[in-house]
Amino acid sequence: MKPKATIAHEQHRLKRPAALADAEIEHLDTVVRYFVNTRADDASEYFGPAYWLARIADIGEQFYLVPAQQRRLTALRTMFVGAAPSKPAACPHKCRVCGH
């Protein structure tokens, strides 16, 4: 029998089905399009670009994604990075999210 800590760790690593990612991706699509179509300064009042880029990365890590979903996330990240203000700052994600 496996120790409880090992079982909990394995359960934590399990990814959720791709079908459940659609709602998350749709929400991010709405947010990114809002961010792109408004002034970036206004959108960052609520959550900054780092937050939304981390959310995009988290979906890729939390769900088993089909290729179309992966492409959609890549497109959202690209669109968001292109719209984000170009302020020089250290990357808080160590290149895992925004490609700095």
In tens digits, what is the pLDDT along the chain, a chain of 100 residues? 666 665 555 555 789 999 999 999 999 999 888 888 876 555 456 677 788 889 999 999 999 999 999 999 999 999 888 876 554 445 555 555 555 4
pLDDT of residue 88: 44
pLDDT of residue 97: 53
The residues near 35 (Cβ < 8 Å, ≥ 6 apart) are 43, 49, 52, 80, 83, 84
- For the stretch 75-90, what's the b/e string if a residue is b when 16 or more beta carbons lie within 10 angstroms of its beta carbon? ebbeebbebbeeeeee
16 phi and psi, to 5 degrees? -85, 160
pLDDT of residue 1: 60
pLDDT of residue 85: 59
pLDDT of residue 21: 95
pLDDT of residue 84: 64
